[in-house]
Amino acid sequence: MDDKQIMENLLLTEKGVCDLLLHGTIESSTGSVHQTFSTALNDALCMQEEIYRKMSQKGWYPAEQAEDKQIQKVKEKYAVNQVGNN
């Protein structure tokens, strides 16, 4: 297993952890439990961002820049949905 595969596995695992912690935060029955999950979620999100940043720097997680036309299309789609929901 090379470094890229290790980092991919770390990132996938960290994303799974974030998902679990998000649900724990949402479903918390008390303020202290909510705060504990929320703090752990924030820490996990920071770790996920750091892993992503390192992968991106090495070219292992390339991201494409969306075209202005695509962005505008999505904005219009959701603007229509917002008007329809009011």
Contact (Cβ atoms closer than 8 angstroms) between residue 61 and residue 51: no
How sure is the predictor about 83, in pLDDT bands with cuts at 50, 70 and 90?
low
Q: 83 vs 67, which has greater pLDDT?
A: 67
- Look up tokens 């390339």; give the residue: 62
Structural domain count, the chain: 1
pLDDT tens, position by position, 29-70: 999 999 999 999 999 999 999 999 999 999 998 888 889 999
Q: Does residue 84 surpass a pLDDT of 90?
A: no
List the alpha helices (DSSP H) in 1-86: 3-27, 31-57, 68-85
Domain residue limits at 68: 3-85
Contact (Cβ atoms closer than 8 angstroms) between residue 51 and residue 14: yes
pTM of the model: 0.74
